[in-house]
Amino acid sequence: MPDILYDEVPSLDLADFTGGDPAKKKKFVTSLGEAYNNIGFVAIRNHYLTDELSAQLYDVIKKFFALPDEVKKKYEIEGLAGQRGYIGKGKEHAKGRNTGDLKEFFHVGQEVKDGDPIKNEYPDNVWPAELPEFEKIALEVYKRLEKTGVQMLKAIALYLQLPEDYFDAKVKHGNSILRPIHYFPIENPDAVPADAVRAAEHGDINLITLLMGASADGLQVLRRDGKWIPITALPEQLVVNVGDMLERLTNKKLKSTIHRVVNPPRDQMNKPRYSIPFFMHPRSEMSLASLPGCIDDQNPKQWSDITAGEFLSQRLREIGLKK
C-alpha cells in the first residue's frame, strides 16, 4: 500500500462498522487499515462514551489534581510500579531519556468480578477518599472505552484477515489502564530542566490507545516524512492509535506512530493541560509473536517472540516506573 501523507488524522464513524450494513462495514475496515498503515491514528465518532460522562470525569480529575501534593501522595503506593493510584510529578520519562516528563497522573485498572483467576495478577484500584464520586464515574468511563476498544479490535482483526473475534478472549479482563493526566502549570520555565517537556516523543506500549478530547492543544504525531502533525480530538470524537504491542504482533504492518505533547509558548506555561487516555492491553499471557500473515520475503520477521506481560514489564523498566 503506498504512503499517504495525511495533514490531519482521518475521521471515521464507528456506526459504519457496528450498524449492520455490510458495505459500510467493509469500507470502515479498509479505511481503518489504510490509516493504521500510514499515520497510525484515527478519530472515531459514534463510540460508546458520552460527552456528559467525559465532562464528569474531567471535572473530578481536575478536583483531584488540585489537592495538595501531600494529600495526593497518600495514593502513591510503593511496589505497584505505578500501575494503580497516583504517580507523582516527573516520575515517568520516555524510553531512551532520563529527564522526567512535566506531568503527574492517576491510574485506574481492570476490575474482575466473575471469579476469573486473572484477578490475582491485578492490584486493587486505589480511590481518593476526598472524592467519593471518582470511583463510579471512572469505572463507567473505563467500561465504555473498553467496549469501544473491543469493536476497534474486531475491525483490525478483519483488516488482518483474521476471524472477527480474534482479539475478544485475549482482551477480556485485559490489563487495560485509564490514565487521567495533569500537565501541571509551570510558573517559572527557567526552573525546570532545559530539555523537559510535557510528554517526550514515544510510542504507546499497549495494543491500542483511546484518547478522550484533551483540554488544550499540544499533542503531535510524527508523520512518515518526518513532519510533526498536530492532533485535536473534537468533543464528540475519540482519537484511537496503534500501540507497540499491535505493531509487534503485525510485524510492523500496523504502525505505532511516535507522538509527543509539546510545551506551550513560555507565556502559556502557567496554564494546566488535562488529558485522559485509555491504554487497552490484553491479558498477560497473550503471545505477541508476529502473525504468520504479516511475514513474507519483503517483510521478514523483525522481533523475537514475547508475551504481553513480559513486554509490559520490560517497557515499565525502560520508562522508569519499575525498578
What is the structure's pLDDT at 127?
97
In the CATH scheme, what architecture does the domain 11-318 have? Sandwich (2.60)
Q: In the chain, where are the structural domains located?
A: 11-318
Nearest of 69, 109, 64, 74 to residue 89 by alpha carbon? 69
pLDDT digits (tens, 9 = 90+) for 169-205: 999 999 999 999 998 887 777 666 666 666 778 788 9
Residue in the block written with cell 464528569: 56
Nearest of 302, 312, 223 to residue 38 by alpha carbon? 223
Question: Using 50, 70 and 90 to split pLDDT, how confident is the model at 99?
Answer: low
What would the grid cell of residue 27 be?
469500507
Task: Give, in order, the Cα–Cα distances in Å from 117 to each of 79, 113, 139, 269.
Answer: 21, 10, 20, 46
pLDDT digits (tens, 9 = 90+) for 278-301: 999 999 999 999 999 999 998 899
pLDDT digits (tens, 9 = 90+) for 16-60: 999 999 999 999 999 999 999 888 889 999 999 998 999 999 999
What would the grid cell of residue 136 be?
463510579
Residue 168 has pLDDT above 90, yes or no: yes
pTM, entire model? 0.92
